Amino acid sequence: MKAPKTHNIFNPEKECMSREALRELQNERLRKTVKLEYDNVPVYRARMDAKGIKPEDIRTVDDLRYLPFTNKTDLRDEFPFGLLASPKSEIVRIQGSSGTTGKPIVSGYTENDVEVWTEMVARALVAAGGTKDDIIQIAYGYGLFTGGLGAHQGASKIGAMTIPMSSGNTARQIMMMKDLGSTMLCCTPSYATYLGETIREMGLDPKKDLKLKSGVFGAEPWTEAMRTRLEELLDIDACDIYGLTEIAGPGVAFECLEKCGMHINEDHVIPEIIDPVTEEPLPYGASGELVFTTITKTGMPMLRYRTHDICVLHPEKCACGRTTVRMGRITGRTDDMLIIRGVNVFPSQIESVLVSVKGVAPFYMLIVDRVNSTDTLEVQVEIDENGFSDTVADLENIRNEIGEKIKSVVGISAKVTLVGAKTLPRSEGKAKRVIDNRKL
Ligand code: AMP
Ligand code: ZN
């Protein structure tokens, strides 16, 4: 049963502010954040000094363009606590995500930051029709990844009955969904589709056997075609939710039941779209790289964080009454990050595993596909001619070693295929290391 098209708003005072009042609030909060960074984070201070900027020079959102960018490499270089703007004793939570090498990147949250993030998710759930009478099943992974805990906190905040299933174990998910009468589902869109297909294969009819009305799906790119399929399979309204660890987690932006792009929580973050090459800001309506500046975070605030996600911003007022700018679907990346089963994967992480294994050469190809709505990863890697051994046991050991290391470094399992020396294509220019056969 689909959600009634109500437009409940968790925090109308903030979500429906006039643009002028919102700008004033952003200006004030931006000034505070810039000062916080300058006074407490040596990297930011050094970069601003190098550009000859003092915190007092940044007065309004229009001055953002003078500030330096922040990149994922900064989180790696300053790992783990170099970017904290508050004393370590004020940090109450660590969450993490994939870095470009073997180590994850981590973000530290103060109590204030957890509260801000929680409200962002609460807004998203209410926008998808959520109330305290709902039973919300959370099938995002719990752990360092922000999906599980983020959705959990938001669901608790609106007073819903929250079921912390975490990801996987599809049969148990469906049993609980049926027995407890879950009315909302939070997970990745591909896992939701897989759940839907399994439910249908089991001969269950969501209209009769389930009570789901809507879902809040994110952590990976999806399309309108996937939305239509998911809504039919589960007989629900499917809303998109976007976020990233560096900024907060899920809830940075979310769709209302109008489903026309994701409302950005602009009282907490300022979005920009830039040309990824010239790094110049682009106007609303132009496609480019999304950049966020946090304006309420105190643990690890971010100035002009380059997400590498490509999208368009829409400023027109939405029929739901919210006045915040909406971001369209993520249409690509400006780097080589892949999202496989909701997990961010950089080819360089896999490469770092392969160079640590004896008997293989650093020539590899990643083949990504989607089988039964589930992402698959095959890693083809060349045997090293010199260390070549043709005993089956040796080859099996190498395969197992690579598989286990990938699982521990990247966090997902991969099929490892060993191929003969010099069989993978060599390129004269930039090596093509990835074949992505997924049709979104
Ligand atoms: P993480 O920090 O591990 O949660 O990963 C954040 C990244 O996941 C973002 O930068 C996006 O590339 C991707 N992502 C999160 N939500 C969405 C979404 N709704 N649509 C497309 N990509 C998403
Ligand atoms: Zn709306």
User: Ligand 1: does its nearest atom lie under 6 Å from the Cβ of 245?
Assistant: yes
CB 349, CB 434: distance < 8 Å: no
Would the CB of 188 count as within 6 Å of ligand 1? no
**How much is the average pLDDT of 163-171?**
96
Share of the chain above pLDDT 70, in %: 98
Mean pLDDT of 108-114: 98
Domains of the chain plus CATH, in order, are 1-331 (3.40.50.12780), 338-439 (3.30.300.30)
The pLDDT of residue 94: 98
Convert the pLDDT of each residue in 350-385 to its tens digit.
988 998 999 998 789 999 999 999 999 999 999 988
Nearest atom of ligand 1 to the alpha carbon of 241: 19
What's the pLDDT score for residue 241? 98
Give the pLDDT confidence score for residue 385 in this predicted structure: 81
Residue having the nearest C-alpha atom to atom 15 of ligand 1: 219
Q: Looking at residue 423, what is its pLDDT?
A: 92
Q: Which pLDDT does position 195 carry in this prediction? A: 96
Run of H or E residues at 339: strand 338-340
Name the residue of 109, 310, 339 whose CB sits within 8 Å of the most ligand 1 atoms, as the mutation to test its pocket.
339
Mean pLDDT of the chain: 95
pLDDT bracket for residue 67 (50, 70, 90): very high
440 — pLDDT class (breaks 50, 70, 90): low
Residue 387 pLDDT greater than 70, yes or no: no
Q: Which residue's CA is the nearest one to ligand 1's atom 21?
A: 221
Name the band, by pLDDT with cuts 50, 70 and 90, for residue 344.
very high
d(CA 52, CA 57): 10
CB 307 less than 6 A from any atom of ligand 1? yes
pLDDT, tens digit, for every residue of 18-54?
Answer: 999 999 999 999 999 999 999 999 999 999 999 999 9
Q: Is 337 helix (H, G, I), strand (E, B) or coil?
A: coil
Report the relative pairing of strands 184-187 and 135-138 from DSSP bridges. parallel
Substitution candidate for ligand 1 out of 220, 259, 310 with most atoms within 8 A of CB: 220
Tell me the per-residue pLDDT of 187-226, one tens digit each, with 9 for 90 and over: 999 999 999 999 999 999 999 999 999 999 999 999 999 9
- Do 249 and 220 meet the contact criterion of CB atoms below 8 Å apart? no
Å from CA of 289 to ligand 2 middle: 22
Q: Structure pTM?
A: 0.94
Q: Which ligand is nearest to the CA of 319?
A: 2
Task: Read off the pLDDT of each residue in 281-303 and give the average, rounded to a whole number.
Answer: 98
The verdict on whether omega for the bond into residue 362 sits within 30 degrees of 0, i.e. cis, is no
| pLDDT-based confidence at residue 2 (cuts at 50, 70, 90) | confident
User: CA-to-CA distance for 88 and 279, rounded, in angstroms?
Assistant: 33
Question: For position 427, what pLDDT does the model report?
Answer: 73
Return the SS3 of 72. helix
Lookup: tokens for 220:
């990976």
DSSP 362-423: EEEEEEEEEETTEEEEEEEEEEPSTT----HHHHHHHHHHHHHHHHHHHSS--EEEEE-TT-
Q: What pLDDT was estimated at residue 388?
A: 64
pLDDT tens by residue, 49-66 = 999 999 999 999 999 999
Task: Answer whether residue 3 shows pLDDT above 90.
Answer: no
